[in-house]
Structure 1
Amino acid sequence: MAPSIGFFTRVLDDASAPERYRIALDQVALAEQLGYRTAWVAQHHLDGAEGGLPSPFVLLAAAAARTSRIRLGTAILTLAHEQAARAAEDAAVLDAIADGRVELGLGTGGSPRTLSAFGEDAAHRRAIYDAKLVRLRSLLDGSADVELYPRAHGLADRIWQATFSAEGARTIGAHGDGLMLSRVQPPPIDLPAGASPPRVWDVQRPLVDAYLEALPAGVAPRVLASRSVVVVDPAERRSVRALAEQGIGRQLEQLQGVTPGSLSIDELLERSETHLGTPAEVIDSLAADVVAAGATEVSVQVHSVDPHPAIAARSIELFAREVAPALGWKVGHRLQEERHVA
């Protein structure tokens, strides 16, 4: 089955907080018009340079008021920072406002600094997350010792979890949750110095296999592949590539120790798993991604290029109108046909 398409934002535009949120809401509305299935937003705490949205339910409630079809998801809600009952209530209220369109993506997320600010011990982040997930799930599915209001009709079946490991993917599958795959994977610990890491789809294939093997019988798989995609008109190609060279170069210097200026722009794009270019170029590069092709949804984002909002909006449009259809991925009317049949 071909994947549907989603839109993802870290809310990182070079603008004030009010303007960042206005841009994000405009992008969600545009994505709905163009036939995207889901709009996903990331949560980050206490660091506007890492991500501009600490309160995803608030922004998604505003998005719900401006839209009627597109699904609205967290990617991810950093659950270790949250109070489980509060998160369950917020998710349930949002789902009521959005007429059942919420997708609840969860993960550990955060840093020792942010966890400490929320009164949690980063040394026990995994255990904290696991305990809060059990409580959240019980509140959403009605098995808790208290009754949630409003009731979260079906929301427990729309939980997704993020992971970087096959073991984590196996656990997610065993629970029947959706699997969220990142746009990049941490490089293998045994990777020789100076060597190029394997492509993201080669690293993620074992995760998908482990997830599918653990999925209970009768539960439909849900695999979300997030990818960095910037589609441009030919006239904008040179300037956006120059912008990408700066942004990706800084990122790879920080994360992988890449010496500035040591890689060409094409090498930077490959190393960062960024699909940037004209529609024909992006079609060609994404065609090699077997994990994306086999996912149930591919969610595209412009990070780490982070171009001007007008370029980002044009990329959202070009991806839906030219790239996704050429790859056979589901856009607009095909989604409506499937919903009608269901």
Structure 2
Amino acid sequence: MRLGYLTHVTGGDPARAYRETVELAVCAEELGYDSFWVAQHHDGHLGGRLPSPLVLLAAVAERTRLIRLGTAAVVLPLEEPRRLAEDTTVLDALSGGRLELGIGAGADAAASLRFGRRHDDRRTDTVAALDVLLELLPTELAEQRMWWATSSSVDAAADRGLGVISGRPAEPGSGVVPDLARYWTYARGIARVALSRPLPAGHSPGRIIDDLLADPALPWAGELIVQAQPSSVSADVHRETMQRFARYVRPFLGVAGPAHPAPVPQAPEPDDEIVPLLRPRPVVRPAR
């Protein structure tokens, strides 16, 4: 399973937040993360300071060599798709083909109003803009490295060959697992699912391991994108979270795929003194 890290780029001073985000991306690459994702927020919504993720990722591209660079997500109804295609293509060239372009319909009604858009039309507007964007982007990027961060549009993503970033908890009755199963069934090309999961402050590695391995959506995913919670934590907390997850949790994540996972013994609930004594345990899944 591939592993990514997401930040909402928060803080009182935007310039400092951008510099610290670049350093976090460098740290993520050094720790072996496969991808580094930034969220787009307009006008400081939810404390986010980044309205222009492609600009910041261009700076990240100059400081990194291998890690993939993701947007989770560009609010597509508020973008001019032709202009977005141009900026995306430039960044992808600068980064050596490392861009993972995540798009979404957006949840900030105030931003829709400020951009002169009807928030209630955001899903229809997303599909319309997406179809234009897909025609303009390089084929390899459009078909293999585009994602839809969605809780309700898996059918549109499947029909257009996009990967799906799912951030909804897969609780009983939530519809997450049936949606992912339907996506896998009807996806054009290679089905790609990334789960976005929070790492709540105060949760031990043992509890995080158990929560992840018990997540019924995990077997359907090929990538796990984690983020520190609350999203407003300092850069030092982000760095510590990345380090602890990479060292203590990642070894417990098996190879995912659309299968019914076999029961896995519960991991102990470690404290800081016994965490280094943990050893990875296999995750056994039957063949598809």
TM-score above 0.5 = yes
Q: Is the 8 A contact 1:201 1:290 kept in 2?
A: no
- By how many angstroms is 1:286 displaced? 1.5
Match of 1:206 in 2: 178
Q: CA RMSD in A?
A: 2.0
Tell me the alpha carbon deviations over residues 250-300 of structure 1, each in whole angstroms, 9 at most, x when there is no partner.
xxxxxxxxxxxxxxxxxxxxxxxxxx22x2222122221131243110000
Q: Using CA pairs under 8 Å that are at least 6 residues apart, name the structure with larger relative contact order, 1 or 2.
A: 1
Among 225, 236, 243, the alignment partner of 2:195 is: 225
CA distance in 2, matches of 1:202, 1:116: 30
Q: Is the 8 A contact 1:94 1:102 kept in 2?
A: yes
* Residues 1:102 and 2:99 are matched in the alignment: yes
Q: Is the 8 A contact 1:161 1:178 kept in 2?
A: yes
Among 204, 211, 214, the alignment partner of 1:285 is: 211
Higher helix share: 1
CA distance in 2, matches of 1:40, 1:34: 15
Alignment of 1:306-325 (within 5 A): 306-325=232-251
The DSSP-based 3-state class of the residue aligned with 1:120 is: coil
Q: Is the 8 A contact 2:45 2:108 kept in 1?
A: no
Match of 1:156 in 2: 142
- By how many angstroms is 1:305 displaced? 5.6
Match of 1:333 in 2: none
CA distance in 2, matches of 1:27, 1:304: 17
- By how many angstroms is 1:120 displaced? 1.9
Q: Can you give the 5+ residue segments of structure 1 that lack an aligned partner in the other structure?
A: 141-151, 186-197, 231-239, 242-275, 331-342
Tell me the alpha carbon deviations over residues 236-257 of structure 1, each in whole angstroms, 9 at most, x when there is no partner.
xxxx54xxxxxxxxxxxxxxxx
CA distance in 1, matches of 2:174, 2:118: 34
TM-score normalised over the length of structure 1: 0.70
Q: Can you give the 5+ residue segments of structure 2 that lack an aligned partner in the other structure?
A: 257-288
CA distance in 1, matches of 2:91, 2:154: 27
Q: Is the 8 A contact 2:8 2:231 kept in 1?
A: no
Q: Is the 8 A contact 1:107 1:163 kept in 2?
A: yes
- By how many angstroms is 1:200 displaced? 7.5
Alignment of 1:1-342 (within 5 A): 3-12=1-10, 14-140=11-137, 152=138, 154-157=140-143, 158-165=145-152, 168-182=153-167, 184=168, 199=171, 203-216=175-188, 219-230=189-200, 240-241=201-202, 276-277=203-204, 279-304=205-230, 306-328=232-254
CA distance in 1, matches of 2:27, 2:255: 18
Q: Is the 8 A contact 2:102 2:147 kept in 1?
A: yes
C-alpha change, 1:128 and 1:294, in structure 2 (3 Å) is closer
AA partner of residue 209 (structure 1): A
- By how many angstroms is 1:201 displaced? 9.5
C-alpha change, 1:200 and 1:41, in structure 2 (3 Å) is farther
CA distance in 1, matches of 2:85, 2:231: 34
AA partner of residue 159 (structure 1): M
C-alpha change, 1:124 and 1:214, in structure 2 (3 Å) is same
Which of structures 1 and 2 has the bigger CA Rg? 1
- By how many angstroms is 1:52 displaced? 1.7
Tell me the alpha carbon deviations over residues 74-131 of structure 1, each in whole angstroms, 9 at most, x when there is no partner.
1110000001111000000000000000011111104332112222222322222221
- By how many angstroms is 1:172 displaced? 1.0
- By how many angstroms is 1:202 displaced? 5.7
Percent identical residues: 36
